Amino acid sequence: MLSRMLRLLLVLVSVMALLATGCKKSSGDYFALYTHEVLETNRQVFQVDGLVVEVKPLENSVTLKHAAVPGYMAAMTMPFDVKDTNLLTGLEPGDPVSFQLIVTDTYGYIVRIRKTGPKTNAPPTTGPFRLVRDVEPLKAGDLLPGYHFTN
């Protein structure tokens, strides 16, 4: 009876040991828990000037028309990730900005974004102008409306 109890105890201890080691996270899982900040490799920082095109705080994103980044990328308009949405407070389309672009082998985002002057290149909101998104689409067979071009 005693040897049977010892065997049962040994089996229970073995099962518990297997369960404990089976629950241990592998090193790959452990590193997957880290943010990009901890695992940043080949980190580069660029100072960039640009113009705000669109602000999306719910998506942690801002679309900027930016100048060329020497040694990294040509001038273009593209969305950028921001980690801190407080950086987007007060930004509106047309605001000229300066910011730092942080890039690694696998991730990029911007920090230290600030306005550098008054709003520019904003579309007119009054007068005979209409934004394209406000124009009703034509149906097949409709005549083109009269339009006066402004130079």
Q: Copy the structure tokens of residue 123.
A: 């579309």
Give the single-character DSSP code of 107.
Answer: -
Architecture of domain 40-115: Beta Barrel (2.40)
Sorting pLDDT into bands at 50, 70 and 90, what band is 133?
Answer: low
Q: Copy the structure tokens of residue 6.
A: 């010892």
Per-residue pLDDT tens over the stretch 135-150? 677 889 988 877 777 6
Boundaries of every domain in the chain: 40-115
Distance CA 39, CA 143 (A): 59
C-alpha triplet 90, 49, 44: angle, nearest 5°: 110
Per-residue pLDDT tens over the stretch 26-40? 444 444 434 444 455
